[in-house]
Amino acid sequence: MLYAIIGEDVPGSLEKRMAARPAHLRRLAELQDAGRLLLAGPCPAIDSADPGPAGFSGSVIVAEFESLEAARAWAGADPYAATGVHAKVTIKPFVKVFPA
């Protein structure tokens, strides 16, 4: 089943985020290589694709996991969780409707 993983950053997390980003991206690449990643990306803190020093307010990942528990375990082991980038992470089952 698909799960949406929604991470909300702590204020001023840009430096921590950038330091942890290579390891975070490697984990996402593993999901992609396994055919389990639907989408992933950051949420800019301002209305711009390149927010510069404003940084990001969080991230969204939609990927396939065996269970909600497996999605929680994956998210809990993410470098953004380990380095304190995210203040809160919400994980919900997700049903893709569009694009068909």
Q: What is the pLDDT of residues 1-59, one digit of tens each?
A: 999 999 999 999 999 999 999 999 999 999 999 999 999 999 999 999 999 999 999 99
Both tokens assigned to 72: 């929680």
Q: How far apart are CA 68 and CA 42, in angstroms?
A: 22
Element (H, E) at 26: helix 14-33
E-assigned strand segments in the chain: 2-9, 37-44, 56-64, 86-94
pLDDT of residue 70: 98
- For residue 93, name the pLDDT band (cuts at 50, 70, 90): very high
pTM: 0.95
Alpha carbon 41 to its chain centroid, in Å, reads: 6
Q: What is the pLDDT of residue 28?
A: 98
Inter-residue contact 65 to 74 (CB < 8 Å): yes
pLDDT at position 52, please? 95
pLDDT tens digit sequence for 63-80: 999 999 999 999 999 999
User: Which is nearest to 82 in space by CA: 5, 21, 32?
Assistant: 21
Q: What is the pLDDT of residue 1?
A: 98
